Chains A and B, each alone.
Chain A
């Protein structure tokens, strides 16, 4: 059982959403000039990972990575600056939104679907040969589980009982393709049996359910029992990327998910029902976070862009 109070999860989710809303603003203003994928609607999964992740664990994420970075403890200021393509960013504006790397927190990401798994497996192997109780965690979307890399990695991890956990954010679509139309089994979690792995499907709108299941998966991997697959179902509220016409989902479907599947609203409801928090307290959390990120955006905007003449810098160490 994760023992992080729901109010803390709530705060984390609120911050994640505000962070991505600020990114959307940067996209609209063209300060972010390439693709942008937000995780709005999926906050409960990232927030649910945070409690069971030690800073020495490695997390490798996807194109939709901002929330996982925040969950891993990446400095939000440096992350925002990176997404806004600034010299002060995590990677000095070289990587951008799809490619943040942070040595301090063992966090990284990839824009190539499925490619998070092999890298996380490499970390897992390192921890295994060093006999460290750390875990290599890969996040992938549902779509990413249909890559060959998924099978290859799960097999290797299962064969040698490597400390490897795969978190599947199942938001039902890979861009426009409904995942159900391209899966051989009803769930992704049930594939675990084929690899001698721990497997579970959870309601990814429920931050506590995610936190509990993830803690269990991590415990399994940490104790030398081998890999785990945690499938968490959720809805992506925005298009696949900002600017996506999103014609593959009906207006009603999108309205309904915002009304019924919003993890932040669900947590708010629970907190109020249990009396753990009052409306004004929760509103204060939102207000405080909004102020904090608003100030961060203003500071990031004042940061310099990478100097054009340094385009070759960092290609080689020597």
Chain B
């Protein structure tokens, strides 16, 4: 019997289990307490663990992100929630100069077991509320970056993030927060008990022979949907869910590409200077230029997400556009 929880319930469940296990875990963020998060991903935690461990913050991201750093150095395991990834601009200083660098700068004497939890991706609210930004976090050294795209991973990656010693950026996709587990094509079963999903291990979400489609976050579901359509057109796509951007499990990706010889990276984040280019470069480095017959990328073509739906649909990868990207590659092969 599958429990049909929403992804936000699953995240809250994961955090609750970890907070019971480890009383050094505290949660700081806007609206995380009394209402349990704007997406409900910290629901009931304040009621269960009190308002010292789960604290509603003023709109002072710089302060409370830095507090996370200080709390971690004082021996705690803070989860700092920055409501939308877009708001990272208000506190990036504490994230990339402190959280990310202190373990290294301190010669390993300082630990930073902090989880920066945020929601990325688009649900229609235009340029300042729709960004993914995992490529940005990944570019800055010192942070693990996890991007769950299935109910199973929302829970398991949170558990791993909270038991590890390293700073982790945990990026939920806004569009999945109220989505029920049973509606997912992949990773829909979520055990009630605790489990972990290792950080740095990709998953083959669908096996296929003709092309390796590497993707992450909500684009995993979109790609699986596209793959179903394409299968009826006799194109058999293998879908690899990166799950974590840093560290990147390029071996799993390369293993698949070695068989299919065709690689398409689908990423909702900005196309240039980001995850998609990185995947392609690493695959080529690993396999050499002759092992890969075709390479493609499909992502946001480097434009701020527009307000109008017509334009939004034109810039974001969705099942239909993903299928078209594969068809274009198939036609050219």
Contact: B60 with A112, CB < 8 Å? no
Q: Count A/B pairs, Cβ under 8 Å.
A: 131
Contact between A34 and B125 (Cβ–Cβ < 8 Å)? yes
* Residue interface mask B295-318, A partner, CB < 8 A = 1: 000000111101111111111000
Contact (Cβ within 8 A) B90 A147: yes
Say yes or no: A110 contacts B128, CB within 8 Å: yes
Distance, CA A143 to CA B59, complexed state (A): 6
Mark A81-110 against chain B: 1 for CB-CB distance below 8 A, else 0.
Answer: 010011100010111111100000000001
B54, chain A: closest CB distance, angstroms: 13
Cβ of A160 under 8 Å from chain B: no
Closest to B56 in A: A177
Q: How would you classify the secondary structure of chain B's contact residues: helix, strand, loop or mixed?
A: loop
Using Cβ atoms and an 8 Å threshold, which residues of chain B touch A183? 58
Q: Report the minimum CB–CB distance from B151 to chain A (whole Å).
A: 22
> Is residue B172 contacting chain A, with contact meaning CB distance below 8 A?
no
Residue in A closest to B38 when the chains form the complex, CB atoms = A175
The CB with the most chain A CB atoms within 10 A, among B58, B86, B124, B315, is that of: B58
**Closest partner residue, chain A, to B87 (CB atom):** A112
Decide if A311 touches B303 in the complex (CB within 8 Å).
Answer: yes
**Any chain A CB within 8 A of the CB of B67?**
no
B127 within 8 A of A: yes
Chain B nearest Cβ from A277, distance in angstroms:
39
A residues near B58, Cβ cutoff 8 Å: 143, 146, 174, 177, 182-183
**Are the CB atoms of B59 and A174 closer together than 8 Å?**
yes
Q: Which residue of B lies closest to A95 (CB)?
A: B307
Main secondary structure of the interface of A (DSSP, over half): loop
Q: Are A177 and B30 in contact (CB under 8 A)?
A: yes
**Can you name 29 A-B pairs with beta carbons within 8 Å?**
A33-B309, A34-B123, A34-B129, A86-B308, A94-B307, A96-B126, A96-B306, A99-B128, A111-B86, A111-B126, A114-B90, A147-B60, A148-B60, A148-B63, A174-B59, A176-B31, A176-B35, A176-B56, A177-B34, A182-B56, A182-B57, A183-B58, A247-B35, A305-B309, A310-B311, A311-B303, A312-B301, A312-B303, A315-B303
Known: A146-B58, A182-B58. 19 other contacts (CB 8 A): A33-B124, A33-B309, A35-B125, A93-B310, A95-B126, A97-B126, A97-B307, A99-B126, A99-B127, A111-B129, A112-B89, A143-B59, A146-B60, A177-B30, A177-B31, A182-B57, A248-B34, A311-B314, A315-B304
Interface residues of A (CB under 8 A from B): 33-35, 82, 85-87, 91, 93-99, 110-115, 143-144, 146-149, 174-177, 181-183, 245, 247-248, 305-312, 315
